[in-house]
Structure 1
Amino acid sequence: MLFLSIHPEHVKAIVEGRKTVELRKRQPSVDPGFAVVIYATMPTCEAVAVATVEAIQVGKPKTIWRNCGKLTAVSAQAFNDYFDGADKAVGIHLSNIAVFKEPVSLRELRKRWDGFQPPQQYRYLDSKQQKFIATREKTVGGCLLS
């Protein structure tokens, strides 16, 4: 399970379905079908949802923008600023967004996962952490899942 740190405005766009591609400069080692925890960074500081990796695209920033730009919910200027000087861009296509019924605060994550520090980009969760996330109640399209 991949734990992605994402700015709150982008998390909102993902949860609302306006953003289906998350952008990164580094490619995580995941395949389609891999589960992702979506963590909203400061000032929110909460794990708010899980998703599934639908696909990963890697290429020159211009190519990724051409192929995925409309799915990123960012402006061309913001995209270009983020990838300024980079020779590679990564687009992580997300699907099956399931929002936690109750977000998991950073305080709770640290209480349950000794020494936990949210990553700048991403990290992989161990089996204990994955089990905790998997047992959280989630909603999809207004329906409660468990």
Structure 2
Amino acid sequence: MSENAIISIRPKFVQAIVSGVKTVEVRRRIPPIQAGTTLWIYATLPIGAVVAVAVAVQIFRGHPDELWASFGAETGITKEDFDSYFEGTASGVCIYLGHVREISPIPIRQLRSMRVGFNPPQVISKITAEEARFLEGFSRPV
């Protein structure tokens, strides 16, 4: 059984992922996930809901220059924004997203009924198989 996690992403980037313009999510810190993890995509405020699901098909770690050379066109951001984001760090992560599907929003109140005291992760947070089944029960294709 694959792992599941919730990943927080700004709404404009979520839209780029759902539309297929952005197929790679970049992160400064290496998230505690592995290839094959199902990612429940939480669109940060003002949306504040899980709105899509994807699979972390592959995870690449490396120096920002190497990551840009390999995946820049798939990040959905400019080179300037990429460099600014990675300024001061010698390594980063590119998560290649596949099997993306938009779902009807699962708002924060539903997420809090899944886990008492739930707060959206700053970056990424693993969830249990039971919590993933809970989310699956609310996920409806858009």
- Structure 1, unmatched stretches of 5+, are none
Among 68, 81, 84, the alignment partner of 1:81 is 84
The 10-residue stretch of structure 1 (24-33 or 8-17) with the greater mean CA deviation from structure 2: 24-33
RMSD: 1.3
Question: How many percent of aligned residue pairs carry the same amino acid?
Answer: 35
Among 18, 28, 47, the alignment partner of 1:15 is 18
State the aligned residue count.
139
Poorly superposed stretches of 4+, deviation over 6 Å: none
Please say if 1:136 is aligned against 2:122.
no
Give the drift of 1:135. 2.6
| Residues 37, 50 of structure 1: 8 Å contact kept | yes
Q: Matched residue of 1:33: which SS?
A: coil
Give the drift of 1:30. 2.5
* Alignment deviations for residues 54-107 of structure 1 (CA, whole Å, 9 cap, x no partner): 10110000100110000000011111111010111100000001111x210112
- Structure 2, unmatched stretches of 5+, are none
Among 112, 124, 127, the alignment partner of 1:125 is 127
Among 16, 28, 33, the alignment partner of 1:30 is 33
TM-score between the two structures when normalised by the length of structure 1: 0.89
Give the drift of 1:27. 1.5
Counterpart-to-counterpart distance in 1, 2:8 and 2:94: 15
TM-score between the two structures when normalised by the length of structure 2: 0.92
